[in-house]
Chains A and B, each alone.
Chain A
Amino acid sequence: MSAVLTLDFTVNGKRRRMHVPPMKRLLDVLREDCGLTGTKEGCGEGECGACTVLMDGVPVNSCLVPAVQAAGVKIVTVEGLAKGPALSVLQRAFVERGGTQCGSCTPGILVTAHALLQRTKGRVPGDGEVRVAMAGNLCRCTGYQMIVNAVRAAARETQASARKRPARAAKPKAGVARRKPGSGR
């Protein structure tokens, strides 16, 4: 048992080694030690989703994850969505459709939406499906319609560009058509 942890993990495709207290929150490790301030703290209790990052491909609240449990995992933050200076299709859809609104919840919203679109690859999720997937990301501005519209527009654009390149269009994997998450409602 020690007060300092040597944390080896991957952040946005880069392997990193940090020396941090083991119960330091992943959120704080990313912001303070990795200098990635795109991830925000909102409520600090797993309600608002502003601190959402991907951990081994699935969205989690980084304010509830201790550094010790990030050992060996792959993290993707909002900074990891764009390819260099080029915005991702999803990010561009948010800009074009006013999905960013005040911007405070946007990093977490983008990360969750990105994870949803990874899961629904090849089809456009319905309005309700997007809303259920995003239920853990709160916006306090104006509502969710522009956000939902942007997510679905990005899915449509990705689908359309996949159709233009049939040779590269991946076959839908078994299970991708399952409504996920949200089949319970």
Chain B
Amino acid sequence: MRAALSTLEVARPRDLAHALKLLHASLGSERLVPLAGGTDLFVTLNSGVVPGRRFLDLGKLRELRGVRDQGDCLVIGALTTFSEIREHALVRRRYPALVAAAAEIGAWQIQNRGTLGGNIANASPAGDSLPVLLALEAVVHARSVRGTREVPFTALFRGYRDLALEPDELIAAVSLPPPPARAKQFFRKVGTRRAQSISKVVFAGLLRLGRDGRVDLARVALGSVAPVTLRAGRAEHALLGARPSAAVAAAARAALLEDIAPIDDIRSDREYRRRVSGNVLEQFLRVVEPRFARR
């Protein structure tokens, strides 16, 4: 085995309250690194990078598991795996875009271990569930010894891999407000291979037409095209109040290019990502409303 791993220590809390205490106490010396499904953490460890020497195993904390219907909101425990999300009847009915994302995060083996909370905490700009959570206006429940704090997804990303969470806070759950009635949901991930690849562009959208035939709800969120997962406010603005047409789709596409700031990196380059982001936006519009294809 890799020598480094044999020296690492793991705290095994009895319950969530115990875990929060341990995490808080660790700030005085060396912060415990939370360990959920391990699918990101062990990729880092196996590459020889050690993000800490002491870990906090969340695996046994039942308080972080399960999906609860709270009438208005659906609360998804942080340790809920992507397989569980794919199979959950209520999630499938209300949030098809989240199910679509869960189905494309890694393959079966990863979906059985990877957790929603872990995907958020890892805070990769390429995290595949993140644009969906942002478009659905999810709220993160951050727990600490001080209590629970609700952080809306729209205020979560401070900068590259930097979340608006305190070092002694754990992501306990994510609550999803009811999906806007009659709004259509869309998810698309673009990678090198249809399975298992890290996204070059990842896209989530919600769109609804009002009775007057004009767009009265437009939410567009993207990952892998900026230091953080972002809402494309300018593109949304170009759509709101408009009657669907090819010209409106083109205007939204032009506006989108002002929203995003992709870079050249190992997986793709700036120009490709700009082109593909625009293509996926237009695909989204045409799929949810064919009149966006009309000249």
Contacts and interface: CB of A to CB of B under 8 A. Distances in A.
Given A181-B83, A181-B86, A135 B10 contact: no
A32 B6 CA distance: 13
A2 B59 CA distance: 17
Interface in A36-54: 44-47, 49, 52
Given A66-B42, A184-B103, A25 B1 contact: yes
Nearest to A61: B109
Max chain B C-beta neighbours (<10 A), residue from A3, A47, A64, A133: A64
B55 to A, nearest CB: 7
Contact of A1 (B39, B47, B54, B113): B54
B271 interface: no
Contacts of A65: 38, 42, 113
A180 B112 CA distance: 12
B46 A133 contact: no
B7 interface: yes
Interface stretch (A16-24, A75-83, A94-102, A152-160): A16-24
Contacts of A28: 1
B106 A23 contact: no
A43 B138 CA distance: 34
B109 A49 contact: yes
Interface bracket on A: 35 or more
Given A1-B9, A24-B5, A135 B108 contact: yes
Nearest to B87: A180
B188 to A, nearest CB: 12
A21 B111 contact: no
Given A1-B54, A68-B59, A184-B100, A136 B42 contact: no
Interface in A107-138: 112, 115, 132-133, 135-138
Interface in B37-78: 38-39, 42-43, 45-47, 54-55, 57, 59
Contact of B38 (A3, A47, A69, A136): A69
Contacts, number: 126
B99 interface: yes
Contacts of B251: none
B8 interface: yes
Contacts of B106: 46, 136
B110 interface: yes
Max chain B C-beta neighbours (<10 A), residue from A1, A32, A55, A115: A1
Given A1-B10, A25-B5, A49-B109, 12 more contacts: A1-B9, A21-B6, A22-B8, A25-B1, A32-B1, A46-B110, A60-B113, A66-B57, A68-B57, A69-B59, A112-B109, A181-B83
Return the 6 tightest CB-CB contacts between A and B, nearest first: A136-B107, A184-B103, A135-B195, A28-B1, A22-B10, A23-B8
6 contacts: A1-B11, A49-B109, A64-B43, A68-B10, A69-B57, A181-B108
